[in-house]
Structure formats: structure tokens, C-alpha cells
Amino acid sequence: MFDSLIPRITAITASAKDVDSKLLSICELLKKEVPHYDWVGFYFKNEDKRELKLGPYAGAPTDHTLIPFGKGICGQVAESNQNFVVPDVQAQDNYIACSINVKSEIVVPLFIDGENVGQIDIDSNTPDPFTAEDERFLEFVNAEVAKIYVP
């Protein structure tokens, strides 16, 4: 499944659209084409503050437009610089609930010149669907986004 999405991701990042439109197109593509991706969005470091700011996303609206570093899965990834796969969000003490339907989450940091500038966040209504293949694919997506995103 992911192999067929790779050329589509590179086509989006190479397109003439503005960066936010490209990011939104990536979110919409992933939400539509990957059955267990129910909410797909980008969070980016909010200037010099120790918080993340919501960027383009596809899925249900969220109240979580700003997330302090350390808070929730996204905030933990902002500090750890490591992928975080959560098979069961109910088992996480530091989880910020976005929807009662969300069962699992994966967050992969986005690096530019070795600095963690943001992340891609995927919520799934399916329990424990994420594999190492999801991680590698999302790392690829972020590497492509890093080529076009200017912090």
C-alpha cells in the first residue's frame, strides 16, 4: 500500500502549490488512502515557544491547536525526538483525548538540519494498527516535507 503512495507524495511536494496547500494535500491523501488513518495532521514548533502549533490536517476538527512540550503524545515527541506509537490511547497517562473514537496514535518527528521542527500525527479509530512499515513510511513523508517546509 505505502509503495503506491510514495510517488504521489513526491508529486505533491514537487507541485507548484504553496507549502500549506501541499501539506493539506498530503494529509488528505493519507486519510483517504490508508484505511486506519482517521485523522492526519502536522504540528510545528511555535516560534521560540515551548509549544506546538497545529498546521494543516484532514479529519474531524480539533480544539488542540496549541500543545505544550511534554503534554500528550505530540508534546512528548517534541521533547524526545523519537517516534511514538501508542497501540491503546486509554493505557497512556499523558494522552490528550481528541475524540472518543480514537483508539491508537502514531507521532513521527520532522527534522530539518537535525532540529525537530514539528511532527506528523495520525489518530486511528482501530486498536493497535500501526506497524514498523507505518513508521518508515511516515519518516519518508517527513523527509519530503522537510525539503519544502521553512520554519
Q: Which fold has domain 2-146?
A: Beta-Lactamase (3.30.450)
Return the C-alpha cell found at 114.
Answer: 537535525
pLDDT of residue 73: 93
Say which residues have a Cβ less than 8 Å from residue 122's Cβ, sequence separation at least 6.
Answer: 30, 37, 39, 40, 105, 106, 107, 130, 134, 138
Confidence of residue 18 (pLDDT cuts 50, 70, 90): very high
Domain boundaries, the chain: 2-146
User: 5 pLDDT exceeds 70?
Assistant: yes
Under 8 Å between Cβ of 96 and 72: yes
Q: What is the per-residue pLDDT across 20-49, written as a single tens digit (0 to 9) for each? A: 999 999 999 999 999 999 999 999 999 999
**How many secondary structure helices (H) and strands (E) does the chain include?**
4, 6
Q: What is the per-residue pLDDT across 55-100, written as a single tens digit (0 to 9) for each? A: 999 999 998 999 999 999 999 999 999 999 999 988 887 777 667 8
pLDDT of residue 1: 87
- What is the overall mean pLDDT for the chain? 95
